[in-house]
Amino acid sequence: MATPQAADDTLRKCLTGIHGFDAITNGGLPKGRTALVCGGAGCGKTVFAAEFIVRGATEHNEPGVFMSFEENTEELTKNFASMGFDLSALIAKKKVFLDYVYIERSEIEETGDYNLEGLFVRLGHAIDSIGAKRVVLDTIEALFSGLNNTTILRAELRRLFRWLKDKGVTVVITGEKGEGTLTRYGIEEYVADCVVMLDHRIIDQISTRRMRIVKYRGSAHGTNEYPFLITSGGISIFPITSVGLNYTVSDKRVSSGIPALDKVLGGKGYYHGSSVLVSGTAGTGKSSIALTFAESVCRQGKKCLFFAMEESVSQIVRNMHSIGVNIEPHLKKKLLTIHASRPTLTGLEMYLVTMHELVKEHKPDVVIVDPVSNLIAAGITSDVKLMLTRTLDFLKSKNITCLFTDLSQSSGNKDDRAEIGISSLMDTCTLLANLEMNGEHVRTIRVIKSRGMANSSLSYRFLLSGNGVDIVDVLKNKDNCFVRKAQREYIR
């Protein structure tokens, strides 16, 4: 048990309100200290700073001062509005103080008497006028653009940071990326208590943004690179560490919609809140099995959210009619919601954000993604796996049953599961295959694993007909023929 003295020594945090950032920093930025947000042009530094001020004013009752050295008040107001932030209203309520300071670089002289007294007076007035708890200086280079003497520069930076600390405000200072250094002068990062590095890069013609906490004095923090997005609602970060492996599980079962498959799965179907992978080559029936599951869920009055990456809604409805499955009533009742969009349209991270937002909006009992292999076209494989890991943890934390289909490349009844490499993350893995036997095209299904339940490891023949999906025979692996009597207890 910590002593009172130890409790007082604990570093206090200031919640930024930026989605995901407070999770990877264990509570936000250091309260009453200075943080540096640095990076190249267009990486999102000003957006980060703006959201820090607005979230503080609107969500944490902490008024803020935004002092800009590059954009005037009108430009900043328009920029804030693009993220849905009404800056004029916040200024009127004295929640935000916006100040544009014009500095003529040619007038800056490098002398031993150079100081920031004028800035201190102006900034002090702004802080006191609204009782500010947060301050942004955007960007720091503008103050020292005419200085080359690092001794003067370091002294003034330290004095500025100390003055801000004495005012008791939490500060975000933005800085431009330098050549071989985090910032242009390579000094700011050593003076600041926390350094956040933003990066905007192009990989295989796909635009991505990354965030990294370079240092954080007195606090543990996530050290990985985290993908983030700038949307109409601000910045969104989805760190893999934001959801731990501490979610609860259920003993309840949910039917797959195929009675014979339920029997293969210990007699009752999938566990509620578990993850299911259905993989196979083209034409093996992955989407049919997934949509049969969706129809079964909706028939029980529960909600299903279906992410379709290859077919339109009308095409899905028509195709399911061919096997006797009618999903139109569920669409009309809004029990079934189909989001049909290719991930290449928005990019990998944006598609992830869309998934999260739709899950929060519709609050489904089941989420189906068909097929996850299409995500590779929108990003590199390692990023796709990280994205799916975050998505799985997010869905499990909400106790949502999720089913992913995956298009594998090899043919035959091989154990070729999820070339993205996510089969180990799944609770239940089902393999579909097409076999050519005696001139006949035969579909087979086999449960590779199903955690926490007894299940058959045999391969079965299944049919797609006007009566839906049905498992009819057991495949005897020794001579690739079907036996209609042996082991029938698994499916009848």
Strands (E), 90-233: 96-100, 134-138, 170-176, 194-203, 206-216, 226-231
Identify whether the C-beta of residue 134 lies closer than 8 Å to the C-beta of residue 64.
Answer: yes
Helix (H) or strand (E) holding 368: strand 366-370
Contact 235, 44 (CB under 8 A): yes
From 70, 71, 141, 156, the catalytic residue: 70
- Amino acid identity of residue 250, one-letter, is S
Sign (positive or negative) of CA dihedral 290, 295, 301, 307: positive
**Beta strands 34-39 and 29-30, pairing class:** unpaired
Report phi then psi at 95, rounded to 5. Answer: -90, -25
- Identify the helix (H) or strand (E) that includes residue 446: strand 440-450
The two tokens of residue 369 are 């993604």
Per annotation, catalytic residue among 71, 156, 310, 311: 310
Residue 332 has a CB neighbour count (10 Å cut-off) of 9
Q: What amino acid is encoded at 6 in this protein?
A: A
Q: Under a CB-based contact definition with an 8 Å cutoff, are residues 43 and 209 in contact?
A: yes
DSSP assignment letter at 436: E
The DSSP symbol for 372 reads G
Taking the CA atoms of 355, 358, 360 and 363 in sequence, report the sign of the dihedral they define: negative
- CB under 8 Å to 483, separation ≥6 — which residues? 473, 474, 476
Q: Which strands, in side-by-side order, build the sheet including 366-370?
A: 336-340, 304-308, 366-370, 401-407, 275-280, 428-437, 440-450, 459-465, 468-476, 481-483
Provide the 3-class DSSP secondary structure of residue 206: strand
Is 176 tagged catalytic? Answer: no
Q: Note if 156 is an active site residue.
A: no
- Amino acid sitting at position 124: G
- Picking from 408, 487, 473, 470, the residue whose alpha carbon sits closest to that of residue 437 is 473
Residues catalogued as catalytic = 70, 310
